[in-house]
Amino acid sequence: MAATKKLLIVESPAKAKTIKKILGKDFTVKASVGHIRDLNSSGRGKKALGIDIEHDYKPDYIIIKGKEKTVRELQEAAAKADEVYLAPDPDREGEAIAWHLKEALNLSDENAHRVTYSAITKRAVLQALEEPRKIDMDRVNAQQGRRILDRLVGFSLSPFLWKKVAKNLSAGRVQSVAVRIVVEREREIKAFIPEEFWRIKALVSPPEAKKDQFEASLVRWQGEKFELGKPAASSEAASAVVADHVKNHPFKIRKIETREAKGRPSPPYITSTLQQGASTYLSFGTTKTMSVAQKLYEGMEIDGTTQGLITYMRTDSTRIAPEALEEVREYISKNFDPEYLPEKPQEYSTKKNAQDAHEAIRPSSVELTPEKVKPFLTRDQYRLYELIWRRFVASQMPPARYDITTVTIESGDAELEAKGRIVRFKGHSILIPESEKKEDSKYQNLPDVKEQDLLDLDDLDVTQNFTKPPSRYSEASLVKALEKEGIGRPSTYAPIIKTINDRGYVRLESRAFHATELGMAVNDILIQNFEDIMDLKFTAGMEDSLDEVEQGHKDWVALIDQFYKPFDQKLEKALKDAEALKGRPWDGDEKCPLCGSSLVVRYSVNGAFLGCSTYPECKGLIPMPGEDEGDENGEPAEIIPCPECGSNMVKKKSRYGKEFMACSRYPECKTTLSLDKEGKPVELPKIERDCDECGKPMEVKMGRRGPFLACSGYPDCKNTMPIDKDGNVVILPKVEGEVCEKCGKPMEVKLGRRGPFLACTGFPKCRNAKPLPGDEKPAKKKKEADKESDKE
């Protein structure tokens, strides 16, 4: 009897490689490389929605451009298989990918076996294959409900912004709310008025024991707290009165109190807390955190065994599998003193709106300690794995125990306090020392003193302080804010942050988000016309409704219908009635660089800028002060004059997203400048040379591999000459009569990284390349030659 042919499909090639080694020759393992189908966006008007609004919002799915070959290969593999297992990630997106695979491969319900696992280990994968199930259509409907909502909102709001603000802007159902959070914090900071207050600290010591000095803070004055808002602490003069009083009165210990305190362990990581922890301790951004975690999840070979190192990293649950609890408790009992193992496992509550579809992020096996796997990991992988491993093991250890001592000191009408802490039992902090450093900074080592002891005043420090504005959001704290408001889900936090940054509505500077002028303008016009979509509670409620769809408690079509009909009416009204942003007057000192007139704030897809108020008579403009990259002091961006006409150069983005500088007098002047990695204009070498083919002047141009000379007679004359790194023209040897043996076209001399070589003039259809005649170097491999030819 012939063996059963089995096909298992996952999302990523890396995961496919790991699972193939686990399953061996009994399975063919293929990767879909993410989604294979998406909503159709071809056509005009509402046809480009890819959604039939008139017929229950029926989605029109098509194969994603570039995925045709992948789908054909999967169809061929499925046709040869007796059993097909669909094993994308165990979340909504993964369930949707499994369903799209089923549809694209024409699999019946009986033949489409859905399998999921929280970790890529031999045990987990084999167990999943023993428990296949049908595709969960409730979960699929929750995903496509979200996708359709996002398409409806983005497709509708973007043209509104094009008409009312600037062309090619975009908006999103969740991303726009995230921008609102940053904008509101920006305005809080700008509106903040610092408030003055004073602090008094005394450096004291027991008589004749200066080595036992400690610090005491003044906490009460004449029976009232000495703090912000109290008259005695509000000014230099008032605090000086208190300081003089203290200097002229003895210091006596009135009371010493000691209490026991506990420092409880944190729960194992979930997506949001992992992103926050990686930001705090490793300085990772959210995208980098998820990318590194993905590699750890997909797995690698460790001591001859291929497996994933952590469980699935998109989760909002702190739940731990029973077998993992058993393993970690056994590890603690073997490797730590008995008091480090609690009587029973630590339990952690999961927040009420959590999907709880997967367990917490943990090592797939706690026996794979960071030290064991370090030789097999990159530096970033090791650091993140160590963070996850330590947090998980520590979460099942007992609390740390401390004695906290408070010494109360009297000095006339003033009362001072000194606090110290002694560690009685390290508990979980034996594995998480970083978490204790912040706490330790609040305390000091206190000498052996007793009540009624007199102390010497060695120094008195009176300092002026000011209240600080709210902190700007970092990537980690923005994720925390989104989670707190119920906006987004584990799989969407990183994409949300990447999107709002890429669109130029916020900018990340020194790891802190600043709302841009463009972001604030778009935020305001959306709030004015679409208050519910921009409302945090409304957006959170929609997330909850999608969760209800996943649980089978709500119909996705009814949910979308309930949202879309009133939204469409508001959109129609806003397109008709909303006033376009014509540019508010600029209140800074800057003037038009061309005519000296006042400036107004204008908007484009590249961000806000300052334009002449007399436009279109004068087209002068300058970059928005304080929004140019690297400008941390709010100073205007450096003005770069056009090398041809002297007008200002402004930053632009090509259709491929690459930044360059263009003359502000375009189209009258078409001068452009390339930018280096730091965003500074690249100075091209000045070379005067005539074309040796047609006699016209040559011009210095910037290509992908640096500057080169091109004939000004282009396109009639396409002669070019390379320039070396020192700005000198490279004269290539002349080779005549060389013909491509593959296509018959003439060969020409090109300059590659390793020197000149012959390349076919039929490029890119023919990629033949070879060494120059008489070149002693061995011929390059075809792939290597193709690569060099590609770069010309």
What confidence score (pLDDT) does residue 354 get? 60
CATH of 145-192+471-577, one of 3.40.50.720, 1.10.8.420, 3.40.50.2000, 1.10.460.10: 1.10.460.10
What confidence score (pLDDT) does residue 786 get? 43
Q: Is 443 a catalytic residue?
A: no
Catalytic residue among 85, 269, 312, 385: 312
Alpha helices in 505-629 (DSSP H): 517-529, 536-550, 556-577
Q: What is the CATH number of domain 6-135?
A: 3.40.50.140
Give the tokens for residue 428: 């979980």
Q: How far apart are the C-alpha atoms of 104 and 61, rounded to whole Å? A: 10
The domain ranges of the chain are 6-135, 145-192+471-577, 196-257+404-420+449-466, 271-398, 583-629, 732-774
Q: Cβ(541)–Cβ(174) under 8 Å?
A: no
**Residue 368: pLDDT band with limits 50, 70, 90:** very high
Mean pLDDT value across residues 152-161: 91
Q: How far apart are the C-alpha atoms of 713 and 335, rounded to whole Å? A: 77
Q: Cβ(92)–Cβ(113) under 8 Å?
A: no
Q: What is the pTM of this model?
A: 0.76
β-strands 37-39, 61-63: how paired?
Answer: antiparallel
Q: Cβ(741)–Cβ(732) under 8 Å?
A: no
656-693 burial, b for 16+ CB within 10 Å, e for fewer?
eeeebbbbbbeeebeebbbeeeeeebeebeeeeeebee
Mean pLDDT value across residues 66-91: 94
Report helix, strand or coil for 180: helix
Mean pLDDT, all residues of the chain = 88
What confidence score (pLDDT) does residue 781 get? 41
Rounded to 5 degrees, φ, ψ at 285 are -80, 170
Q: What is the C-alpha radius of gyration for the chain, rounded to an integer number of angstroms?
A: 33
Give the tokens for residue 158: 């973007």
Please provide the size of the chain in residues.
Answer: 792
Secondary structure (H, E, C), 193-236: CCCEEEEEEEEEECCCCHHHCEEEEEEEECCEECCCCCHHHCCH
CA angle 418, 420, 425 (to 5 degrees): 165
Fold that domain 196-257+404-420+449-466 belongs to in CATH: Topoisomerase I; domain 3 (2.70.20)
Q: How far apart are the C-alpha atoms of 381 and 291, rounded to whole Å? A: 10
Give the tokens for residue 155: 């497709």
**Residue 627: pLDDT band with limits 50, 70, 90:** low
Instruction: Give CA separation, 792 vs 255, 694, 706, in Å.
Output: 81, 22, 11
Mean pLDDT value across residues 625-644: 56
What confidence score (pLDDT) does residue 666 get? 75
Q: How far apart are the C-alpha atoms of 7 and 320, rounded to whole Å? A: 30
> Is 714 a residue whose pLDDT tops 60?
yes
What confidence score (pLDDT) does residue 139 get? 94
Q: How far apart are the C-alpha atoms of 176 and 165, rounded to whole Å? A: 15
Q: How far apart are the C-alpha atoms of 700 and 714, rounded to whole Å? A: 13
Mean pLDDT value across residues 525-551: 92
pLDDT (tens digit per residue) in 563-591: 999 999 999 999 999 988 877 788 888 88
Of 278, 200, 286, 203, whose CA–CA distance to 238 is shortest?
A: 200
Burial class (CB in 10 A: 0-12, 13-18, 19+), 20: middle
503-531 burial, b for 16+ CB within 10 Å, e for fewer?
bbbbbbeeeebbbbbbbbbbbebbeebbe
Within 10 A of 596 (CB to CB), how many other CB atoms are there? Answer: 10
Q: Per-residue DSSP letters for 96-146?
A: HHHHHHHHHTT--TTTEEE---SB-SHHHHHHHHHS-B---HHHHHHHHHH
Mean pLDDT value across residues 153-157: 91
Q: How far apart are the C-alpha atoms of 512 and 477, rounded to whole Å? A: 10
Q: Cβ(426)–Cβ(411) under 8 Å?
A: no
**Sole residue written with tokens 């298989």:** 81
Q: How far apart are the C-alpha atoms of 621 and 630, rounded to whole Å? A: 20
Q: What is the CATH number of domain 271-398?
A: 1.10.290.10
- 574: CB partners within 8 A, 6+ apart: 160, 164, 529, 530
Low-confidence winner among 47-51, 269-273, 454-458 (lowest mean pLDDT): 47-51
Of 564, 561, 560, whose CA–CA distance to 572 is shortest?
A: 564
- 613: CB partners within 8 A, 6+ apart: 585, 592, 597, 598, 599, 600
**Residue 644: pLDDT band with limits 50, 70, 90:** confident
**Residue 519: pLDDT band with limits 50, 70, 90:** very high
What confidence score (pLDDT) does residue 357 get? 63
Share of the chain above pLDDT 90, in %: 60
pLDDT (tens digit per residue) in 416-462: 999 999 999 999 999 987 665 666 678 899 999 999 999 999 999 99
Of 258, 266, 264, 212, whose CA–CA distance to 422 is shortest?
A: 258
What confidence score (pLDDT) does residue 439 get? 65
**Sole residue written with tokens 């060695």:** 458
Low-confidence winner among 513-527, 574-588, 724-738 (lowest mean pLDDT): 724-738
Virtual CA dihedral for 101, 102, 103, 108, nearest 10 degrees?
170
Within 10 A of 487 (CB to CB), how many other CB atoms are there? Answer: 22
pLDDT (tens digit per residue) in 96-141: 999 999 999 999 988 899 999 989 999 999 999 999 999 999 999 9
372 vs 789: which has the higher pLDDT: 372
What confidence score (pLDDT) does residue 152 get? 93
DSSP-assigned beta bridge partners for residue 461: 201
What confidence score (pLDDT) does residue 352 get? 61
Contacts 24+ apart (CB under 8 A), 496-503: 496/174, 496/175, 496/178, 497/178, 497/285, 497/286, 497/287, 498/286, 498/287, 499/172, 499/175, 500/175, 500/178, 500/179, 500/182, 503/169, 503/170, 503/175
> Is 788 a residue whose pLDDT tops 80?
no
Share of the chain above pLDDT 70, in %: 93
